[in-house]
Chains A and B, each alone.
Chain A
Amino acid sequence: MPLDERSIYLRKLVIRGLAGGGRGHLGPAMSLIEILRVLYDDVLRFQPQNPTWKNRDRCILSKGHGCLGLYAILADKNYFPLETLDTFCKRDSILGGHPEAGKIPGVEASTGSLGHGMSIGLGMALAARIEKRDSRVFVIVGDGEINEGSVWEAALSAGKHGLDSFTVLVDYNKIQASGPTKDIQDLEPLLDKWRSFGFAATEVDGHDVGALRGVLTALPLAAGKPNAVICHTTKGKGIPFAENNPDWHHKAKIGSEEISNMISALDSYHA
């Protein structure tokens, strides 16, 4: 799937953060970009100047290690200045290696330890139902993350409550920290799993902006059921030497030459 100018631009913002911190989770951020882009450009209701607006839709990045992708889109939407990306992971920055609510405008919940976002999002969806608000809740989970039992506890509960305002998006890049998900902890048949927990589920190319837009603007998939959208993605998407490469899941040290190589790779990708 080719990347258009906006997708390239957002990835360059990720690299700006990566360069600022000299470290970070590259692969898990790059696989997320189109999911976040479509959510924030076409689906979510929000007010960057009033991030706690009661009637907003909530988006929780449960796979908090993909935060550079979230920071890129939040900066792009003017939740905070683009220059803040340069402070990533620095001592007094608001942008840490995992996102923290209360520090970063637009971040709904502090995540990082995996398997927390679904239950929190479920609570938010129930809160909206009690208050008769039409706010919707979107939770983005990683494929490695859904090894966690708490994800499936939340799934059981979401199915029971029949919350069609609740959507889980699985960033299914098929590679976790140690290698392919099919070797570490095979998730298949993944669509059937969600359906058996009471979800309406579908799958989509997670880098195809048009296809994502088609699915996410037509929610709910079925009345009275929570939604599961499995997004088939590529880890490290846009940086050929990082694509599908577990070595680029996380780097504790990234030099300026590597940053230049990433920018060049993106420019070539664009071409």
Chain B
Amino acid sequence: MRKVCLDTVHLLAKRDPRVVFIGSDLGPGVLAGMKKEFPERYFMEGISEANVIGMAAGLAMDGFIPYVNTIATFITRRGFEQVALDLCLHRLPVRLIGNGGGVVYAPLGPTHLAVDDFALMRVLPNMTVMAVSDADEMRRLMVQSLDWPDPIYIRLAKGGDKIISKEENSFAIGKAIPMRKASAADYVLFVTTGVMTTHTLAAAESLIAKGIDSTILHFHTIKPLDAPALLSYAAQAKAIVTVEEHSCVGGFGSAIIEALIDNLTTIPPVKRIGLADAFSQHYGAQNDLFEVNGLMPQQIAETTERFLNRIANLPSGGLANGPTL
């Protein structure tokens, strides 16, 4: 996904003289082809996120379209004020590409985990927040990013991620994609983002054997949120389950709940599946942290089944006093 993303920056630079690349000490050889072909539009700066983002703002103020790349948690946390003021307040077309979104850097510990990037970025006015599911979808996003008027935060996944997106589903920034449709009404509606869409597709398959049918709506764009798509599927759902590789505080699931509350008077029961509101206590691999947080496909299926059982066993009146799942 990262390779496709950066290769596409080079491709866009060939097409459009406004495209510049700024990295923050990314290691040798990154975008070497672009560096060779367009040295005046390739910048490898030091470890200075605040400066790099401000510099991108200055370039964008004079008509360039900077693609800025570094580790996700640094680009969102370290230069947050520059993102807020230099980019969002001025509404500049700068693209922030964050390596290792979520728990990709599991072995490196909590300093390198981007578990709050959606929350930090989506709270900013004018910011667009993206988490695609695979490399093919990344290519579609990158091509469209060229003419998007606002700043964009692009979360990168681990790489080598299973390809699940399809050309025929079409792609437009800000438009959710139905990845699976239930055969009848009264289904579980999964709303997912990033690579959790892949896990949820597998979870949905395993739930069929339990007699649970589901629709999956994939949000590669977290902001602006495609509320019309959400609402159109939510109306027919018996329950909604959000799945994200992000803290449950303030992230994608929170955005979904906000959209539901703001637009509906009666809301189906909602379960959020995501990372705990805690600094990680473990290392290992990304999948290890998925397992710790209940984000592996089978765990998503089991949590969903338990949630549906709980709903079914509740007296009418809701979930307010039910036990914690």
Residues of A within 8 A of B (CB): 101-102, 108-110, 112-113, 115-116, 118-131, 149-150, 153-154, 156-157, 160
Contact = CB atoms under 8 A, between A and B. Distances in A.
Interface in B205-233: none
Contacts of A116: 54, 81-82, 85-86
Nearest to A111: B85
A141 to B, nearest CB: 13
Given A122-B55, A127-B61, A157-B55, 11 more contacts: A101-B90, A115-B50, A116-B54, A119-B50, A119-B58, A120-B58, A123-B57, A123-B62, A150-B82, A153-B48, A160-B46
B51 A130 contact: no
Contacts of B164: none
A108 B58 CA distance: 10
A125 B57 CA distance: 12
Given A109-B61, A123-B56, A130 B41 contact: yes
Most chain B beta carbons < 10 A, residue from A113, A118, A126, A128:
A126
A127 B46 contact: no
Nearest to B50: A150
B51 A157 contact: yes
7 contacts: A102-B90, A121-B58, A123-B54, A123-B62, A125-B58, A153-B50, A157-B48
A127 B85 contact: no
A219 B223 CA distance: 46
Lowest 10 CB-CB distances: which A-B pairs, in order? A123-B58, A119-B54, A153-B51, A127-B62, A153-B48, A123-B55, A150-B50, A120-B58, A123-B59, A124-B58
Contact of A127 (B48, B50, B58): B58
Taking each of B46, B51, B56, B89, which has the highest tally of chain A beta carbons within 10 Å of its own beta carbon? Answer: B51
A104 to B, nearest CB: 13
Contacts of B82: 116, 119, 150
A113 B48 contact: no
Interface string B178-197: 00000000000000000000
Contacts of A160: 45-46
A200 to B, nearest CB: 20
Contacts of B45: 157, 160
B171 interface: no
Contact residues on B (Cβ < 8 Å of other chain), bracket: 20 to 34
Contacts of B52: 119
A150 B54 contact: yes
B60 interface: yes
Nearest to A161: B43
Interface of B: 20, 40-41, 43, 45-46, 48, 50-64, 66, 81-82, 85-86, 89-90
Contacts of B62: 123-124, 127-128, 131
A131 B41 CA distance: 10
A120 B58 CA distance: 4
Nearest to B79: A150
Contacts of B50: 115, 119, 149-150, 153
Contacts of B64: 127, 130
Nearest to A108: B61
A56 to B, nearest CB: 11
B69 to A, nearest CB: 16
A123 B85 contact: no
Contacts of A113: 81, 85
Contacts of B57: 109, 119-120, 123
A125 B61 CA distance: 11
Contact of A120 (B48, B54, B81): B54
A101 B51 CA distance: 19
A154 B49 CA distance: 10
Contacts of A124: 58-59, 61-62
Nearest to B57: A120
Contacts of B89: 110
